[in-house]
Each structure stands twice: as structure tokens, then as C-alpha cells.
Structure 1
Amino acid sequence: MTKVLVLYYSSYGHIETLAQAVADGVRRAGALAVVKRVPELVPESVAEKAGYKLNQPAHIATVAELPEYDAIVIGTPTRFGNMASQVKNFLDQCGGLWFEDKLVGKVGSVFTSTGSQHGGQESTILATHTVLLHLGMVIVGLPYSFKGQLRMDAITGGSPYGASTLADDGSGGDRQPSDNELEGARFQGWHVAHVAAALAASPVGVPQ
């Protein structure tokens, strides 16, 4: 069975919600979805004061386990148009896997959240793609066959690069992922699982 890791970081729960939707899409494709998160770097006292969601049930992932999966879907909030430092810190520990080509040919995909419509959703995903490409992974996004990203009747996240959500309601208040954004995340998970299954059936080798 195709095995997909949904690996995320979430301060306030928005990415966590999208991660569960991605995992649901993976399961709809008949694959095994494992949801884990990267370690928190912020001291607990600071996180509590900032209102971080600290009761997330997902287990902490390790770098060593990454080669066990056929695909890795990374969820990260945006930090000034780039991935969160917690995610970058985790990926920066993949040097050994890079050296041994352990992730070459695996599927890599990314989803994100921002506080506004133009807060760096696309740049964050593309910046994360750069790391995945250095690791030799095969990038999969959110194709236009998910028609929800073409909607003009409502504010919504989502692009061909990956699913996304807006975390601010425009007045500084909390906004949860919309039904359309969640459906985009499910579609991405479903699509990743199908691509990973196809690649697993014909693994990437080394040219002779």
C-alpha cells in the first residue's frame, strides 16, 4: 500500500485542520495516511502566552523515518513569504538523507496558510519546493482539475502550487478554513497518493 506522510507545523490550528483534510484525501485514494508534526522551537511559556494550540494529538516526526514513505506532504504557515522556522529547522536536518539519495524519486507536495489574501501563499510553497527539489523529490501541486481554485464568488485560498487557507477574517479576527479550501486540501492529498502509487510501481533508478 502507498504510504503518505502529512508532515506539518501549526501554531494556531489552521494548518493542522488542513493536514487532516489532506490525509482524508490520501485515504480516499486507497493509500495509508500518517499525520505527524515537526517539533516546536518556541519555549512552552512563550507559546502559551501567545495562545499557541499546544494540545495537538499528532505525534512528532523524526528525520530518520522520512525514507519510509512514498510521498511527503508538508504543511507550513507563512512567515514573511517563506516557510516557518520550525519546518526549515526540520528540513535542515536532512543532510544525511540528501547525501545518501534517500528521498530521490519520492513525491513531495506543500500546502500553507497566510493571514491575508496576498500574504505570501505562493512564495511560501515555491520556497519549500526548492528544498524538496534539492532532496531529489518529485513535486506535485494542486492541478486545475480541482475547479474550486477558479472560484470568483468568494475569497478562497488555493493555487496550482498547493492548497492554502486564509487565517485572518480581515479585521484581525480568526478565520477557519472554508469548505472550498478543505476540499482543495483533500483533492491534493488524493492526487499526491495517486501519483505516488504510480511512481512506486515504476521506481526511479540510476541511469546506466
Structure 2
Amino acid sequence: MMEPVNVAIIYYSATGTVHALARAAAEGAEKAGARVRLRRVAEPAAPEAIEAQPAWARHVRDAADVPEVVHDDLVWADAMLFGTPARFGNPASALRAFIETTGPLAFQGVLTDKVYSAFTASNTAHGGQESTLLALGNTFYHWGGVIVPPGYTDPVQFTSGNPYGTSHVAGDGPPGDVSLEAARHQARRVAGTAAALKAGRAAA
């Protein structure tokens, strides 16, 4: 019997929106039979800047139990989902800074042939969600990854409306049932694809 696949959910969240999507993705991957590591990117901002914004400070305290991501999480994973706020149509600088430390892993080929996907949130409906997800895809291309988007592969996608990856408009409030179920579906699809690849490689 084949071992379950390892799925890492790696994210940066300032006020908790992406954190909520990440937790839903973890639920989806677990229900698909995967072993899951939920990991947050370290908060780089100065404490005084965080404490000046109540929502930011509250989320930092609320997420303190989530381990910070390290390179071993990427080595361990068969598949990874990366989550980030949309910042001017790009991933948040905190996530980019972590990604830029992975050069040694990439050069060794450790990140090649793994499954990758991404999710995001922005303050407004047209706040750069798709370009943020596509920008993360550029990294996955460099790693030689297998990119698995949600597409329109589940009825929830026709409601959530983003085939590139789960996205949420934070200005409308916290993620609701549609966004959370979209994240679960995306993670299930990622885990299922990773399992199929793992089985195929074992049989080859």
C-alpha cells in the first residue's frame, strides 16, 4: 500500500484572511488522505508597526501556534500550496523573501517535479488577484514544478469564479462558505494529483 502524499500549505497573512483560506486548504488536503503541514511565513514587520494596527496585532497573536516555514517543509512535501495577499498585483514581500532563500534547494533539483498551486486575497474585487497567482506561477516554472490550478473542476468554482486559484475579496469581510470550500476543493485536487503522480512514478 502506498504511503499518503505530503502536502505543505505555506502562507503569509497579515490580518487573517489568507490564514483562514490556508486552514481550509489544510482541511481539504487532509480529507483527501494527505499528511499536511500548515506553515506560516515569519512576520518581518517591526512590533511597533504591528501593534499600531489592531487587526494585524490580533492576527499575529491568533496565529502564534502555527509553526514558521523552514526549508525542510519544502523538502518533505510532495505538493505545496502557497497563499499570499495580493500586493499591487504581486505576492507579499514576506513570502517573496522566503522564496528567495530557496535557491540552494532549487539548484539541487529538490523542488523539481513536485505539485504546486496558489491562493490569494485582495481588498477589492479587481485588486490583482489573478496577476498575483500568475506571478507565483513564475517561481513554480523555475522550479520545474507541476502546476495544478482548480480550474472549473467543481461546481463551487462557478460561484467562486477564479480558475487560477482560490481568491477572496477581503473588503467584503472574512472568507465565507464559498471561498473556504473553494480552498478545500483546490487542496483536494492538488493532493489527488500528487497521489496519482506518486503512484505512477512508483509503478514506472
Q: CA RMSD in A?
A: 1.3
Aligned to 1:195: 193
8 Å contact 1:6–1:73 — kept in the other structure?
Answer: yes
Aligned to 1:121: 129
Aligned to 2:163: 160
2:153 is the alignment partner of 1:150: no
8 Å contact 1:82–1:120 — kept in the other structure?
Answer: yes
1:54 aligned residue (54, 60, 73):
60
2:181 is the alignment partner of 1:183: yes
The list of structure 1 runs, each at least 4 consecutive aligned residues, that deviate by more than 3 angstroms after superposition, is: none
Quick one: distance in 1 between partners of 2:67 and 2:73? 13
Quick one: distance in 1 between partners of 2:201 and 2:109? 13
Quick one: distance in 1 between partners of 2:195 and 2:156? 25
Q: Flag the structure with higher helix content.
A: 2
Deviation of the 1:158 alpha carbon: 4.4
2:134 is the alignment partner of 1:131: no
Quick one: distance in 2 between partners of 1:6 and 1:180? 19
Aligned to 1:172: none
Quick one: distance in 2 between partners of 1:70 and 1:202? 13
Task: Please give the secondary structure, in 2, of the residue aligned with 1:59.
Answer: coil
TM-score, normalised relative to structure 2: 0.91
- What letter is aligned with 1:42? A
- What letter is aligned with 1:19? A
Aligned to 1:25: 28
Deviation of the 1:63 alpha carbon: 2.1
Q: Which runs of 5+ in 2 are unaligned?
A: none
Aligned to 1:39: 42
Q: Which runs of 5+ in 1 are unaligned?
A: 152-156, 170-174
TM-score, normalised relative to structure 1: 0.90
Residue identity over aligned pairs, in percent, reads 39
8 Å contact 1:6–1:74 — kept in the other structure?
Answer: yes
